[in-house]
Structure 1
Amino acid sequence: MKTIIRILLLLALTLNVSAQIPKHEVRAVWLTTIGGIDWPRSHSACQQKQELTAILDQLQQANINTIFFQTRVRASTVFPCAEEPWDICLTGISGQSPGYDPLQFCIDECHKRGMQLHAWIVTIPVGKWNTNGCKLIRQKYPSLIRKIGDEGYMDPEKPQTGDYLARFCAEVTRRYDIDGIHLDYIRYPETWKLKVSRQQGRQNITDIVRKINHSVKALKPWVMLSCSPIGKYDDLARYKSSGWNANTTVCQDAQGWLRSGLMDALFPMMYFQGNNFYPFAVDWKQHSYGRIVAPGLAVYMLHPREKNWGLDVITREMNVLRELGMGYTFFRSKFFTDNTKGIYTFTKDFNLYPALLPPMKWFNKTAPSSARALTVKRGMSSDFLSWSGARDNSGANYLIYNVYASERFPVDISDARNLIATRYMNQSISIPHKGRLLHYAITATDRYGNESAPTFSSHHAGKPSRPLDFRELIMGHSLKKYK
């Protein structure tokens, strides 16, 4: 491990160009709703929808493929819920309906753009003691909430906490076509005076995670269960966590949850740089147990009013994470879409091509059958592709499609440069050809991310030439094809 860390530190100091762009990579963003700090910026339903679609358009243009949408805020929600009130961010009045369902709207808009939507659930904190949501839970479950300062927290030492959160996550999973449940603050509060052993504390949090896992997976086993642990799992042999880590400080055994199968993915909050980042990133990778780990990067630290980091801090971390095959997650959306210090501009070039999410083969590895009867009709400026549906062999009875194009035949679907549309919901698409003879391939993807064998277009094979320039082909067209 020491050798690996030295190599990565050297890479971090010298790497200024993007590593080879992978076909599978998590590229995620946390989209915060608390206080409307990312969204919404107004209390008008019409304006909120316009704001959200504009944000998602920007994220799609940077080939972001995963959105964590803050769904449970602080014992308050952005969807109609019998247990908890509407969050104040939507109308300015706690408990008041905005007149539409923001969660359903965001799911639909993400899926139109080929992006996954994960419902971000803030678990243990329930807000200020006298806020609407906290008071309602205290009235229904008098012994469940602990007061620390002026804040309320669900008691992780009460079995009812896990029961409540499992029911809540099951309701979201049952009612909505989400791609994931993402748990935030699934740990002891740092201000909690722990009276049980650390081992018992970890067991208490793990029991909550287990209950949520069972409730979600019993309904839809393909829904990815993830969390955002503290950015350092624990002290390393040569690098200390400075007293702030997941496992010991707040009893969050996140690596154990991967090992035992209670979590499909982790998005650790690695809001650090240098020796506080790279060795701990390697540790997460080495203890990923074949699951997904995509560290959170502190793009907010680029802002002059925060830590005023240089852009190179984040870009080097992105490069090293790509070398490690880990993916990355931006905290938070507005700092990214505002192009703070040029991070959005850099990422558009860094993510020159779309990427698929790594498949969850630990649950199901049976690929769908191939799409059938792919036909290409040549037009003056575009090729019109259509195909017949594939067959889902996973039992979920739902398929989406990926489209590849190349001047070479057969199209190499392992080359990310040929991937022009991901998670496409229809069975036809129009592709501008710029006067060139393009060859195409279609694959089907199931709920678990398993990809079928390709179905190729029947164009005559032409002479090999340069790889297709994605920007030249798609620029100005990518948004249209999803609408």
Structure 2
Amino acid sequence: MSKYTPFLFILVLFNSCGIFKTYEKHPKTEFRGVWIATVVNIDWPKNGNDTSEKQKTDYLKILDFYQKENYNAVIVQVRAAGDAFYDSDYAPWSRFLTGEEGTPPQWNTDVLEWMILEAHQRGMEFHAWLNPYRATFDENFEVLAESHDYCTHPEWMVHYGKKNYYNPGLPEVRNHFSNIIAEIVSKYDVDAIHFDDYFYPYKIKDEVFNDSIAFESYAKPNQNLDDWRRSNIDSLVKQSYEKIKSIKPWVQFGISPFGVWKNNSTDPKGSNTKAGQTAYENLYADPLLWMEKGWLDYLAPQVYWSMDLPVASHKTIVDWWSKNNFNTNLYVGNGAYKVRNNSDKAWDDIKELPMQLELARETPQISGNIMFSAKSLMSDKDDVVKYIHKKYYKQPALNPAFPLSNKATLKTPQLSITEQNEKDLILQLDDTKNMRYALLYKSGHKTKDEYPIKKLIFKIFLDGNSNRLLIPRNQISNNFLALSFIDVYGVETEPTIINIKQLAKNDTKR
């Protein structure tokens, strides 16, 4: 045996893929989201003419399914095509909700407020998903309400393919959308505003997006058409971010761009892919710039291809984004809708989607995944769902905190008085207005700096109105509990020990 063999063996070990990489089987924080698409009733409601009770029931079925599978966020499309799933001053009620555009729903409560609260009570973040520029879904214009922007502001519209789009080159369009964002963030307790990948439309052969007048009016000297269009999207992103933060700094802003920024055939900085269209060159979206400028809290590229697809490998694209990400949380958008429903036969393999989750978890720069879309895993995919649950989502996970640069210092609630009755242990807290959730862990008599997720007993939503925390006694088996809080920025506070036996003897003040 050569005298160099032991050294070579050690070298091989250190360079083996994943040998010394930290891999958490049950990570405490991990974004686990699902898109709920409402346009043309893809996921919900099943029909705009359904009764309010059926629509509520169907929505709760989605929440309950994904709560059971330990997901922690829903991204719900509340603006699909110049419309609204809430009472808006800037858009008519969506026909996908009410059956007829502009007609209010026959609900006995505020639709969006109810949807948000139901998600929060299940420990899920609610991200309000807006489509900025799609004005109409088709050429069936007679279904539009008189208050739709297509009718009131035809000068804002560009007809392309069979749809109408808001012209991104018009400052008044950006201001209009800024008002829409302000309305939602001001009125509703959303956790985030979310954009999808539709900026300028995907290219259609032999079609021209006619924005020449806006280009002549607003382009800077010597600015070409492509750079001008990208600058319009940059302005939208920047203005949206600043508007959100000016109202509620704790509301996140996230975007889910098309998965390929550029192919390396057109730019050496691009990914080793052969995508037919790219975010930068065809949709005029430049997520790298948005991250560099700090205009986002998270980015979730749509990487809807299988692991080894030659023209656009999931592995290749995820690796590229992991190396081109900064100032934001990075999640991966997964094409769950393709499972056993695609010409690429890789999706027939029960392990295709689980392998993508494993890749994300093994990649340090990635903090979670989002599935498109909700209905995809709710029927005929039981084996895949069970596989994912058993191997990856067996335990719940907390949502990732914001990038620290955005976090303010918030006061931790103090446990001041305790009460009790036969059913509940009741904790009185001095101030919970900046806290999102209370967390209760099984504990010993000594406080730990941090508790693993497997010790979590409850995640209780705090609505900000009550400082009383009710803990069901029949769920408490330990003599000691650890209590901590998740603040509005997603940061967990230091835990405090609660002695259950001591509380049984007398009220305790801290």
After superposition, residues 83-482 of structure 1 pair within 5 angstroms as 83-100=90-107, 101-127=110-136, 128-129=138-139, 130=141, 131-132=143-144, 136-191=148-203, 193=208, 196-236=224-264, 237=268, 239-275=272-308, 276-304=313-341, 307=344, 309=347, 310-324=349-363, 325-338=366-379, 340=381, 342-349=383-390, 350-360=392-402, 361-373=404-416, 384-389=424-429, 391=431, 397-406=434-443, 409-410=446-447, 413-422=450-459, 424-425=461-462, 427-430=469-472, 432=474, 436-437=477-478, 439-458=480-499
Q: What is the distance in 1 between the residues matched to 2:332 and 2:430?
A: 34
Distance, in Å, in 2 between the alignment partners of 1:423 and 1:288 is: 33
> Residues 411-461 of structure 1, C-alpha deviation per residue, up to 9 Å, x if partnerless?
563412112333532612226458x53532111222111221101122689
Partners of 1:8 and 1:65 in 2: how far apart? 35
- For 2:17 and 2:229, the matched residues in 1 are separated by 38
Deviates more, 1:162-171 or 1:123-132: 123-132
Contact residue 28 and residue 453 of structure 2 kept, 8 A: yes
Q: Percent identity?
A: 24
Tell me the alpha carbon deviations over residues 73-110 of structure 1, each in whole angstroms, 9 at most, x when there is no partner.
11112112232222222232222222223212211101
For residues 306 and 239 of structure 1, the distance between their equivalents in structure 2, rounded to whole angstroms, comes to 22
What amino acid does structure 2 have at the position aligned with 1:451? Answer: E
Distance 1:250 1:228 in 2: 13
- Structure-1 separation of matches of 2:446 and 2:419: 14
Gaps of 5+ in 2: 1-13, 213-223, 463-467, 503-510
Letter in 1 for 2:367: M
Judged with a 3 Å threshold, the aligned counterparts in structure 2 of structure 1 residues 58 and 406 are, in CA distance, closer, same or farther, namely farther
CA contact (8 A) 2:441 2:451 kept: no
- More deviation, 30-39/366-375: 366-375
Inter-CA distance 243–442: structure 2 relative to 1 (3 Å threshold): same
1:199: Cα distance to partner?
2.5
Question: Structure 1 pair 45/459, CA: closer, same or farther in 2 (3 Å)?
Answer: closer
Report the Cα offset of residue 222 of structure 1: 0.9
CA change 1:21–1:375 in 2 (3 A) is farther
Number of residue pairs the alignment of both structures matches: 443
Q: Closer, same or farther in 2 for the Cα pair 1:239/1:174, shift >3 Å? A: same
What is the Cα deviation at residue 374 of structure 1? 8.2
1:294 partner letter: Y
Contact 2:360 2:367 (8 Å CA) reproduced: yes
Output the amino acid matched with 1:330.
M
Query: How far is the alpha carbon of 1:41 from its aligned partner?
Result: 1.9
Q: Which residue of the partner structure matches residue 81 of structure 1?
A: 88
For 1:374 and 1:420, the matched residues in 2 are separated by 22
Secondary structure in 1 matching 2:485? strand
The corresponding residue for 2:5 is none
- Distance in structure 1 (CA, Å) of the matches to 2:34 and 2:201: 24
| 3-state SS of paired residue (1:71) | strand
Partner of 2:31: 26
RMSD: 3.0
Alpha-carbon distance in 1 for matches of 2:484, 2:75: 26
Distance in 2, matches of 1:33 and 1:164, equals: 22
| AA partner of residue 216 (structure 1) | I
TM-score (norm 1): 0.83
| Cα deviation digits, residues 223-277 of structure 1 (max 9, x gap) | 1111110012223556124242222232111122122111111121110122521
Q: Distance in 2 between matches of 1:450 and 1:30?
A: 24
Shift of 1:151: 0.8
> Which deviates further from its counterpart, 370-379 or 23-32?
370-379
- For the 8 Å contact 2:94–2:101, the answer to whether it is kept is yes
1:146/1:155 contact within 8 Å kept: yes
Query: What letter matches 1:64 in structure 2?
Result: Y
Matching residue's letter, 1:286? K
| Greater mean alpha carbon deviation, residues 127-136 or residues 195-204 | 127-136
Q: Is the 8 A contact 1:76 1:133 kept in 2?
A: no
Find the aligned partners of 2:144 and 2:15 in 1 and give their Cα distance.
48
Distance across 2 between alignment mates of 1:175 and 1:409:
43
Using the size of structure 2 for normalisation, the TM-score is 0.79
Structure 1: segments with no counterpart, 5+ residues: 1-6, 12-17, 462-483
Find the aligned partners of 2:32 and 2:421 in 1 and give their Cα distance.
34
> After the TM superposition, which of the residue ranges 113-122 and 214-223 deviates more from structure 2?
214-223
| Whole-angstrom CA distance in 2 between matches of 1:341 and 1:440 | 36
Deviation of 1:207 (Å): 0.6
Mapped contact 1:368–1:444 kept (Cα < 8 A) = no
Q: Which has the larger radius of gyration?
A: 2
Taking structure 1 as reference, are residues 37 and 374 closer, same or farther at Cα in structure 2, changes over 3 Å only? farther
Q: Deviations over 1:365-424 (max 9, x none)?
A: 525325425869798xx9x543332646xxx74443122124685456341211233353
Taking a change above 3 Å as real, the CA distance of residues 432 and 347 of structure 1, as seen in their structure-2 partners, is farther
**CA offset at residue 29 of structure 1?**
0.3
